[in-house]
């Protein structure tokens, strides 16, 4: 056995020990190489310690055969797609590996080429992931619902508050007896006094009673029903939100 043949045999044994199931001998007719010498195939995936072969989206086979004078001359090389590899990518990778083989003459280089292929796949796979993530982010932005409606400003809030207070005054008038609405102000009870007197339980009875009750003119004290501005603002914003949601549903 020549020195070259001995070196080649030692390299094959080392590759079998390191790569185990990812390394196998194949028939020369399957290799795509123009040789009748022994041919070998190595499964290559992106360099990721946490990923297994079956889960990786891109996988390839690095095929090689020793020439008579290897490692003093480059080995015969070929690459095939096992999953997700484009023809152009395979061409680029093959040229890269052939260039590296020429730069590593004089030493066993197959494992070095395998490592280089892994790194190249990792770079390409990472770039594809970045592009996919960017596209996903753009799609997510398109799905964001832009709220529509009148913006909240001091002017719109004050206008709403004026309408709200007017509506509140009308509600008060509906539950108060007529005598309370027409009595002189100095004889009016506060809203709290009116409710505590028990007369709020029977407004109809109040209207049917004598002039003595008419003298007890009743009114609400505005201070008892006046919401503070913070509560009114919350109420206003809630109304605006409901209105905007209703408008969006109608638009859809």
Per residue in 179-198, pLDDT (tens digit) is 555 555 555 555 555 555 55
Q: What is the pLDDT of residue 21?
A: 94
Task: Look at residues 20, 112, 30, 119 and name the one whose alpha carbon lies nearest to residue 74.
Answer: 112
Q: Is the pLDDT of residue 116 over 50?
A: yes
User: Does 32 score more than 70 pLDDT?
Assistant: yes
Q: What is the 3-state secondary structure (H, E, C) of 124-187?
A: HHHHHHHHHHHHHHHHHHHHCCCCCCCCCCHHHHHHHHHHHHHHHHHHHHHHCCHHHHHCCHHH
Domain count, the chain: 1
| Among 111, 113, 90, CA closest to 102 | 113
- Token pair in block for residue 19: 């790569």
Query: What SS3 state is found at 35?
Result: coil
Q: Is residue 173 in some structural domain?
A: no
Q: Output the CA–CA distances (angstroms, integers) from residue 108 to 16, 222, 246, in the order listed.
A: 14, 97, 73
Q: Decide if 84 is inside a domain.
A: yes
> Using H for helix, E for strand and C for coil, what is the string for 1-29?
CCHHHHHHHHHHHHHHHHHHHHEEEECHH
For residue 250, being part of any structural domain is answered with no
DSSP state of 216: S
Is 162 contained in some domain? no
Residue keyed to tokens 């390191």: 18
Q: Considering Cα of 99, then 100, then 101, then 103, what sign does the dihedral take?
A: positive
CATH of the domain at 25: 3.10.110.10
Q: Is residue 232 part of a domain?
A: no
Q: What is the pLDDT of residues 57-115, one digit of tens each?
A: 889 999 999 999 999 999 999 999 999 899 999 999 999 999 999 999 999 999 999 99
HSE on the CB side for 239, CA within 13 Å? 13
Q: What Å distances lie between residue 234 and 64, 94, 164, 167, 192, CA to CA? A: 75, 68, 13, 17, 25
8: pLDDT confidence band, cut at 50, 70 and 90? very high
Domain residues for 121?
Answer: 4-142
Q: What pLDDT, in 10s, does the model give residues 211-222?
A: 444 445 545 455
Q: Is 136 part of a structural domain of the chain?
A: yes
Residue 109 lies in a domain: yes
pTM: 0.51
For residue 59, which of 69, 48, 70, 67 has the smallest C-alpha distance? 48
Query: Does 119 reside within a domain?
Result: yes
Cβ atoms of residues 41 and 62 within 8 Å: yes
């Amino acid at each position: 056995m020549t020195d070259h043949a001995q070196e080649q045999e030692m390299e094959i044994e080392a590759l079998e020990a390191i790569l185990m199931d990812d390394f196998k001998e194949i028939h020369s007719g399957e290799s795509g190489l123009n040789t009748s010498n022994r041919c070998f195939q190595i499964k290559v995936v992106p360099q990721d310690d946490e990923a297994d072969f079956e889960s990786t989206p891109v996988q390839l086979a690095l095929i090689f055969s020793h020439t008579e004078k290897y490692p003093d001359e480059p080995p015969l090389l070929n690459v095939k797609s096992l999953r997700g590899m484009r023809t152009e990518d395979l061409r680029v990778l093959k040229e890269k590996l052939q260039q590296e083989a020429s730069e590593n003459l004089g030493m066993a280089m197959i494992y070095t080429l395998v490592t280089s292929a892994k790194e190249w796949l990792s770079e390409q796979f990472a770039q594809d992931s970045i592009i996919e993530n960017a596209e996903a982010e753009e799609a997510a932005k398109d799905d964001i619902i832009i709220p529509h409606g009148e913006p909240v400003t001091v002017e719109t809030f004050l206008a709403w508050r004026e309408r709200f207070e007017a509506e509140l005054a009308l509600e008060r008038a509906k539950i108060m007896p007529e005598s309370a609405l027409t009595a002189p102000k100095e004889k009016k009870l506060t809203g709290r006094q009116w409710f505590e007197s028990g007369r709020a339980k029977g407004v109809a009875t109040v209207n049917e009673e004598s002039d003595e009750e008419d003298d007890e003119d009743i009114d609400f004290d505005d201070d008892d029903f006046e919401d503070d501005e913070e509560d009114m603002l919350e109420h206003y914003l809630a109304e605006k939100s409901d209105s905007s949601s209703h408008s969006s549903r109608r638009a859809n």
